[in-house]
Amino acid sequence: MSTADPKQRAAVLAPLLEQRGPDGPYYAYAAIDYLAELGEAGETVLRGFIAEDAKRSIDPEIMGRAKLGVRKIELTRQVASVGPADVVQALSTAARTPTRRQMDREFAKWVVGELAKRRPEAESGLRLMIDDSRVTEDVQVAARLALTGSADNIRWRW
């Protein structure tokens, strides 16, 4: 499947969006994560899935994850459209979540992982994040690990 066209891959993943295994929505989460990595093709599927929620009730956990998948795609698109000097600023801003919901914190940790890939340019942003009261403790820990070079030891969700 890795060599397939992104639209074909998205079509294969779409039916998995509501799959729940015995341990919960792992299959749906994995499908959403892969769709988010596909970019535009995945966004089309995710937005269609989100629109379905208006017609019928979809598991709120899965729906929240799907919305964050779209958010990730939008941020990735934004980062790709700005100059190198603005990338770190855009990512640092995105890591400061407006709420302390679990999904927002997972997104913020993914953003910290994106910042970790951009060291040393991102070091000042990561340092500021550690002391920022708008950043949750788990995200601050992720930022500390990113600064120490231990970021590879964290399983960055997304």
Residue 152, Cβ density class (10 Å: 0-12 exposed, 13-18 middle, ≥19 buried): exposed
> 0.85 exceeded by the pTM?
no
DSSP 8-state assignment for residue 59: -
In whole angstroms, give the CA distance from residue 34 to residue 94: 21
Vertex 36 angle, CA 32 and 38, to 5°: 120
Q: How does pLDDT run across 87-137, given as a tens digit for each residue? A: 888 888 888 766 677 888 888 888 888 888 887 888 888 998 888 888 888
* C-alpha angle 63-1-26 in degrees, rounded to nearest 5: 30
In the predicted model, what is the mean pLDDT of residues 21-43?
90
Helix, strand, coil % over all residues of the chain, rounded to 5: 70, 0, 30
Q: Can you tell me the mean pLDDT for 28-37?
A: 92
